[in-house]
Amino acid sequence: MPSRLITTTLVLSLVLGASFPVLCATAQFKDQKVLVLPIRELVHSCDDLFSPHPPPSGDAVQLGRFLQQQVTLAQYTKTISYSKFRSELAGSASYKEKLVLGRERYLLAKELYRELRQTEAEDNLLRSIRFLQQIFYELVEPEALAEIYLLLGVTRMELGRKAEAHLAFKKAMFLNPRLRIQRGYYPEPVEQALSIACEDSRRSVGSISFEDVDRALQFMKNWKLDAILISILSKREEKTTLFLGVLDRRSRSVVYRETITLAGSMEEKEAQISRAVGRWSACTARDSIQPRLEERHRYVFSAAYQQMAYLSYPTRSILNTTGFSFESGFFLLRNFALVAKAQFTSSLPDRFGDMLSPLTSFRLILGPAFSVSGDWWRLYVVPGAEVHMLGAFSTSSDPDCKFYKKDSDGFEAMCPGGQIKKYPVTFLGGVNVSLGAQFFFSNRLFLSTALSISTYFMPFDRSIEMNFPVAVEAGGGIAF
């Protein structure tokens, strides 16, 4: 009868296991947090630099809005509204303090410049820029920062350092492409330098996209941005081109750089932008999201070394056994599985040597498992039904029955038959409760540990004196 029970339960678990398909998890990726900066419009001709009229409004605003929309629609991408970002940036703790310091330095530099103390003026302008750079002022008030660079360029011109003045003018032109200079306000050489810087800024679109990558990366780290997309609208030989560049924080480099020539109607331009965004999105390396443990695995197999102690035992001291446990589990639901365990154990010598022969046993446990899991761990409890087959063994508390060799004169003389208690092969039935943990060190492999206790109800006559085995297990396994 018990052997039929074991066979039936084993077959049942195998049939159940085979009838469910293997779980196939689809790949998931983490959202990338992208800041899309407004399109910088470098389309205005430098011939109009000294024009009294402001430059006409182009398509930049509309195209910028469309670009932002397209990036937002891209899969696994989360964009931040530039206006919201700008107000957050301006509202940050150190912003006001640094702004005041930067502005004060600028006003002081202006005073010094008026007093023809150019060297001191330059020094204060550079300090002002340093303060303002710390708060990424160019993203909040680029036009105001352009003014500072303009004065820096003029000061350097007057100090006779034309090359450095050129860089400052170029930066001013880049920060504020709509900059207009009143003709005659500055001396002729300054006007000439401004014109050259303007032309230069219009030509070197790609190279000025991320001037200081380290600073940009620091900025991204501070604001937990994964990428910054910058776009520059410019004109090349009467053709309008849009430069797109993406700086990626993880790879610490510009991961995407493309210049597209915009032509045709607004719809056609938008289509071109849409395709460019699609190309960027397709080529972007993304961090995959590891599915939760319970979503990853359906089958679990493990083997463990087991140490067991019977709390109720037929010897004078506690009876320990050692052996191996083999476990298989099949997840029917995320946190619910069917588990079957097969365990083989052999007794260790007891303290008084009362076990005259080692006890070997085999037990089968079948039950549901309820689990909770994290990214790399799983805890479970298995209340199960147990069938335990104990091999034949004998015990005695008489030292003479232990010392003398069986069938020897000494054994016959000193160990009368009644001093030895013999136990035939016995089947015990009861319940087992197991608490366990699995620690995954790779996607599929894990180390495991478990603690369990059983109680036996059968045989009902309590003819066997062994009960309440407590077991600890340590091992490992595979899940898939």
Residue 119 backbone class (left: φ over 0; alpha: ψ -120 to 50; beta: rest): alpha
Contact assessment for residue 429 and residue 457, using Cβ atoms and an 8 Å cutoff? yes
Contact assessment for residue 354 and residue 389, using Cβ atoms and an 8 Å cutoff? no
| Cα–Cα distance for residue pair 170/155, rounded to 1 Å | 14
Rounded to the nearest whole angstrom, what is the least distance from the CB of residue 472 to another protein in the complex?
8
Choose the binding region for another protein from 68-76, 138-146, 302-310, 329-337 (rule: CB under 8 A): 302-310
Q: CA quadruple 169, 172, 176, 177: dihedral positive or negative? A: positive
Rounded to the nearest whole angstrom, what is the least distance from the CB of residue 364 to another protein in the complex?
22
Q: Does 358 bind another protein (CB under 8 A)?
A: no
Judged by beta carbon, residue 183 or residue 316, the one nearer another protein is: 316
Judged by beta carbon, residue 223 or residue 404, the one nearer another protein is: 404
Structure letter (DSSP) for residue 182: -
Q: Does 411 bind another protein (CB under 8 A)?
A: yes
Q: Does 403 bind another protein (CB under 8 A)?
A: yes
Look up residue 113 and give its two tokens. 């410049």
Chain-centroid distance, C-alpha 36: 23
Choose the binding region for another protein from 206-214, 222-230, 287-295, 347-355 (rule: CB under 8 A): 347-355
What count of residues does the chain have?
480
Number of residues in contact with another protein under rule CB under 8 A: 30
DSSP assignment of 116-134: T-HHHHHHHHHHHHHHHHH
E strands of 16-141, at which residues? 28-29, 32-36, 40-42, 77-80
Structure letter (DSSP) for residue 459: S
| Cα–Cα distance for residue pair 245/343, rounded to 1 Å | 62
| Cα–Cα distance for residue pair 379/15, rounded to 1 Å | 26
Q: Does 62 bind another protein (CB under 8 A)?
A: no
Residue 4 backbone class (left: φ over 0; alpha: ψ -120 to 50; beta: rest): alpha
Judged by beta carbon, residue 404 or residue 439, the one nearer another protein is: 404
Q: Does 357 bind another protein (CB under 8 A)?
A: no
From 47, 97, 412, 465, residue interacting with another protein (rule: CB under 8 A):
412
Q: Does 352 bind another protein (CB under 8 A)?
A: yes
Choose the binding region for another protein from 84-92, 180-188, 258-266, 344-352 (rule: CB under 8 A): 344-352
From 3, 28, 222, 317, residue interacting with another protein (rule: CB under 8 A):
317
Q: Does 419 bind another protein (CB under 8 A)?
A: no
From 30, 130, 183, 351, residue interacting with another protein (rule: CB under 8 A):
351
Choose the binding region for another protein from 156-164, 368-376, 397-405, 443-451 (rule: CB under 8 A): 397-405
Residue 289 backbone class (left: φ over 0; alpha: ψ -120 to 50; beta: rest): beta
Q: Does 213 bind another protein (CB under 8 A)?
A: no
Judged by beta carbon, residue 180 or residue 402, the one nearer another protein is: 402
Rounded to the nearest whole angstrom, what is the least distance from the CB of residue 395 to another protein in the complex?
12
Q: Does 468 bind another protein (CB under 8 A)?
A: no
Rounded to the nearest whole angstrom, what is the least distance from the CB of residue 410 to another protein in the complex?
2
Q: Does 311 bind another protein (CB under 8 A)?
A: no
Give the long-range contacts of residues 57-65, CB within 8 A, separation 24 or more: 58/233, 59/233, 59/266, 59/269, 60/233, 62/266, 63/39, 63/233, 63/242, 63/262, 63/269, 63/270, 63/273, 64/36, 64/38, 64/39, 64/231
Judged by beta carbon, residue 30 or residue 351, the one nearer another protein is: 351
Q: Does 55 bind another protein (CB under 8 A)?
A: no
Q: Distances in Å between the alpha carbon of 80 and those of 138, 280, 390?
A: 17, 18, 68
**Amino acid identity, position 292:** R
Q: Does 305 bind another protein (CB under 8 A)?
A: yes
Choose the binding region for another protein from 17-25, 153-161, 394-402, 445-453 (rule: CB under 8 A): 394-402
Chain-centroid distance, C-alpha 278: 25
From 89, 348, 389, 458, residue interacting with another protein (rule: CB under 8 A):
348
Say if residue 358 is preceded by a cis peptide, omega within 30 of 0. Answer: no
Rounded to the nearest whole angstrom, what is the least distance from the CB of residue 78 to another protein in the complex?
51
Convert residues 318-337 into a mask of x (bound to another protein by CB under 8 A) and - (unbound).
x-x-x---------------
Q: Does 353 bind another protein (CB under 8 A)?
A: yes
Rounded to the nearest whole angstrom, what is the least distance from the CB of residue 287 to another protein in the complex?
39
Q: Does 251 bind another protein (CB under 8 A)?
A: no
Residues forming contacts to another protein in the complex (CB under 8 A) are 305, 307, 309, 316-318, 320, 322, 348, 350-354, 397-400, 402-405, 408-414, 472
